[in-house]
């Protein structure tokens, strides 16, 4: 099976102010593990991170609905980024879809307070979230990779 066989089942969301030092290593490690990762912007335009790096997303959020079952959506660090993502009703619809499909939502450290404040992280849905909390970035990314690889049967659906 090639990555193209399960395209866009792992998404990293991007909005202005994303934390480049978290997004780039996360995307790189997931792709190194041959997992199907796409960077998703609120629009198809370039997105500028907290430190000025601009990235062109693979796909715009409005285009995500055209793809198969999602397995993981990552909300990156960066308070501005997390806030912009979590005030967008399209993101909430996407996250609800992922949860309904028994997928998971990964939340990076600086996005955790925003997700908690927006009531995204509730005890009812706790099992559907993987939060960085006290883990260092490398440990968090390793956890995401292992979680997905332990459920590799997901990618044959």
Query: How many degrees, rounded to 5, is the angle at CA 54 between CA 49 and CA 60?
Result: 90
Q: What is the pLDDT of residues 32-61, one digit of tens each?
A: 998 889 999 999 999 999 999 999 999 999
Please report the pLDDT score of residue 106 as a whole number. Answer: 93
What would the pLDDT profile of 59-94 be if each residue is shown by its tens digit?
Answer: 999 888 655 578 899 999 999 999 999 999 999 888
pLDDT, mean over the chain:
84
Q: Calculate the CA dihedral of residues 64, 66, 67, 72 and round it to 10 degrees.
A: 30
| Closest-CA residue to 46 (of 70, 20, 71) | 20
Cβ-contact 78, 49 below 8 angstroms = yes
CA 72 and chain centroid, separation:
6
- For 107-138, what is each residue's pLDDT tens digit? 999 888 888 787 776 655 677 888 888 889 99
Residue 146 clears pLDDT 50, i.e. is over it:
yes
Is 144 strand, coil or helix? helix
pLDDT score at 95: 87
User: Is residue 154 over pLDDT 70?
Assistant: no
Helix (H, G, I), strand (E, B) or coil at 75: strand
* pTM of the complete model beyond 0.85: yes
Bridge partners of 77?
none
The DSSP code sequence of 89-135 is HHHHHHHHHHHHTT-EEEE-GGGHHHHHHTT-S-TTTGGGEEE-TTS
**pLDDT score for 157:** 41
Q: How confident is the model at residue 133, as a pLDDT?
A: 80
What domains, with CATH codes, occur in the chain? 3-144 (3.40.50.880)
Partners of 131 in the β-ladder: 107
Instruction: Kindly compute the dihedral angle of the four CA atoms of residues 46, 76, 62, 102, in this order, to the nearest 10 degrees.
Output: 160
């Amino acid at each position: 099976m090639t990555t193209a066989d399960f395209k866009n089942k792992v998404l990293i969301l991007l909005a202005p102010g994303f934390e480049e030092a978290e997004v780039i290593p996360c995307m790189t490690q997931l792709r190194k593990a041959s997992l199907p990762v796409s960077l998703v912007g609120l629009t198809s335009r370039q997105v500028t991170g907290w430190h000025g790096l601009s990235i062109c997303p693979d796909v715009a959020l409005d285009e995500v609905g055209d793809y198969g079952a999602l397995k993981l959506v990552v909300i990156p660090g960066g308070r501005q980024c997390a806030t912009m993502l979590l005030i967008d009703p399209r993101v909430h619809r996407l996250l609800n879809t992922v949860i309904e499909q028994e997928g998971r939502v990964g939340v990076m450290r600086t996005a955790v307070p925003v997700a908690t404040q927006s009531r995204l992280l509730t005890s009812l849905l706790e099992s559907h979230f993987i939060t960085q909390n006290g883990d260092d970035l490398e440990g968090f990314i390793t956890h995401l990779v292992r979680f997905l690889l332990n459920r590799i049967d997901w990618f044959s659906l």
